[in-house]
Amino acid sequence: MEQPAHIKVSGALEGEFIVIEERSASEFVITRDTSWKAMLGKDERDATEEEIAALEAEHGPFQPADGEG
C-alpha cells in the first residue's frame, strides 16, 4: 500500500498534514497527521508504567491490536 504524502504547513494553519486527495496539479485535500510519529513530534511522550497501570486499573487491560489501523 502506498504511503500518503506528508506536508508541513505554516501560517494560519500549522503542523503536519497528510494529502488525502489530489484534485488537480495545484489543488489538494489535506487532513492533520494524527499518526503516533506526528504526535511524538508535538512534545508528546510515551506513557510511564505508572500511567499505564492507572489506565488498566480504570479501564481493564489493553487488548492486542486488531489490525484495522
Whole-number pLDDT of residue 49:
93
Whole-number pLDDT of residue 18:
92
- pTM over 0.95? The answer is no
In a domain, 66, yes or no: no
In a domain, 26, yes or no: yes
Q: What is the mean pLDDT of each run of 10 residues along the chain (69 residues)?
A: 81 88 90 80 79 93 77
Domain that holds residue 51: 6-59
In a domain, 69, yes or no: no
Strand partners, 17: 7, 32
In a domain, 42, yes or no: yes
Whole-number pLDDT of residue 51:
92
Length of the chain: 69
In a domain, 50, yes or no: yes
Q: Collapsing DSSP states into helix, strand and coil, what is residue 42?
A: coil
In a domain, 65, yes or no: no
Residue with C-alpha cell 500500500? 1
C-alpha distance from residue 59 to each of 47, 53, 54, 62, 63 (Å): 15, 10, 9, 8, 11
Residue with C-alpha cell 479501564? 59
Whole-number pLDDT of residue 66:
79
Task: Specify the number of domains making up the chain.
Answer: 1
